Structure 1
Amino acid sequence: MDDAPDSHASTPPAGPGTAPDSLRSIGLTKIGEGRFKATNARGGETFMGTGGEDPDFTPVELLLAAIAGCSAIDVDLITRKRAGSTTFELTSEGHKVRDEQGNHVTGLRLSFDVQFPEGPEGDAAREALPRAIAQSRDRLCSVSRTVQLGADVTYEQR
């Protein structure tokens, strides 16, 4: 990954309300036929592929995981102030379709199964859960908010 000062010289300008340290990026490298490795600036790696024989996530599955992970982090941060969860499971799903608009995903849905211990702290966390989910959906989760609001994607050849 190129960390040179001008490595993002062609990055589209940020919009209003953008902090100077707002840029996020990954590098993607082909590692085999239909297989790619994504690497972040901290050295983390994940793999993606076409969904054939290899177990790698497809790009659509990574989108679903990103939405689920983003919302899960939000909801957990809010509810754990009251009580830690005893169960925290989340399903993220959507339909990959091909129509007159081209390929895209429709009907995105998150389904939360979050349980808390018995007692006053657990009761407080259960009470906060619906609001936490709504805050993630309506304001906090950058990934789902980007999908909901839409974002321009610029393609370029280097």
Structure 2
Amino acid sequence: MANVEVRRVGRHDFVAENDRGASVRLGRSGAEGAFSPVELLLAAAAGCAVVTAETLVTRRVGEGGLVARARDVRPEGAHELDAIPITLDYDTSALDDEQLAALDQVVRRAVEQLCTVTRTLKKAPPAPLTLPGPVPPGPVPPG
């Protein structure tokens, strides 16, 4: 099981760290030298797809130039994403049409079946929030 802790280190400045000691800075959108939470979500989606596809792709096209990109698709000012399109890019010039179609099929199937992040995003699981202190009775006041 993976665990990540995000600790405040300054005003609008945070560090996320995993159990293995890896860390990444995060902050508000536009913060210099930091990822925003949405950018981390995009990185997770693209990263999961590229990690899942890496062996399948490099075995067929070689080691060079495997890149994954994810985009933030939402209306201006919205506070939820409408989509997270992911693009994998690699050199297919050495493949004929049949090889390219076979690679496309195996990569799509692997990402759809094995990529935990994109599978989770499609499922939209709950993300309960726990706060310190007693739980107030009744509905939560708007905030």
TM-score, with length taken from structure 1: 0.71
Q: What RMSD over aligned residues (CA atoms) do the two structures have, in Å?
A: 2.5
Residue among 74, 85, 90 paired with 2:68: 90
- In structure 1, distance between residues paired with 2:75 and 2:68: 23
Q: Is the 8 A contact 2:71 2:84 kept in 1?
A: yes
Does residue 146 in structure 1 map to residue 120 in structure 2?
yes
Structure 1 segments, 4+ long, off by >6 Å, are: none
1:119-153 Cα shifts (integer Å, max 9, x gaps): xxx56874543123312442111001100011111
- In structure 1, distance between residues paired with 2:127 and 2:4: 15
1:104 corresponds in structure 2 to 80
Residue among 33, 54, 61 paired with 1:76: 54
1:85-126 Cα shifts (integer Å, max 9, x gaps): 432122210224489xx72111221122211573xxx56874
Does residue 33 in structure 1 map to residue 11 in structure 2?
yes
**Residue segments in structure 2 that go unaligned for 5+ positions in a row:** 133-143
**Residue segments in structure 1 that go unaligned for 5+ positions in a row:** 1-22
The structure whose residues are more often helix, as a share, is: 2
Q: Is the 8 A contact 2:45 2:118 kept in 1?
A: yes
- The total of aligned residue pairs comes to 131
Give the % identical residues: 24
TM-score, with length taken from structure 2: 0.77
TM-aligned CA deviation for residue 38 of structure 1: 0.5
Q: Aligned letter for 2:114?
A: L
The structure whose residues are more often strand, as a share, is: 1
Of 146-155 and 48-57, more deviation after overlay is shown by: 48-57
